[in-house]
Amino acid sequence: MKPTKKITYSALFTALSVAILSLASLFEVADLTISMFASAILLLAMIELGDRYGFMIYAATSFLSLLLLPSKFIAAVYLVFTGLYPLIKRFFDKTPRLV
């Protein structure tokens, strides 16, 4: 895949994740569930584009959500917990098991 296509997909995944997180700020009852949906978008991006682009999408989504969302709680939850989960899971899936 060409690098311009990967950058375009990264921008689309980032915009979709920020849009999903903005829905979480509207529906405060299901904010953790909607944050996990945004994390699933990140997981799909890592599968399609690779780990490096996944980390960049995570960083851009975290920065934009902290900047744009009215509810900073959901942005902090994505930054600390749900956004990091696909990155950490992918790392541990690649390492060999000890047992």
| Residue in 41, 7, 50, 44 with CA at minimum distance from that of residue 21 | 41
Q: What is the pLDDT along the chain (99 residues), one digit of tens a residue?
A: 899 999 999 999 999 999 999 998 888 788 889 999 999 999 999 999 999 999 999 999 999 999 999 989 999 999 999 999 998 988 888 888 776
Task: Region of 96 please: left (phi>0), alpha (psi -120 to 50) or beta.
Answer: beta
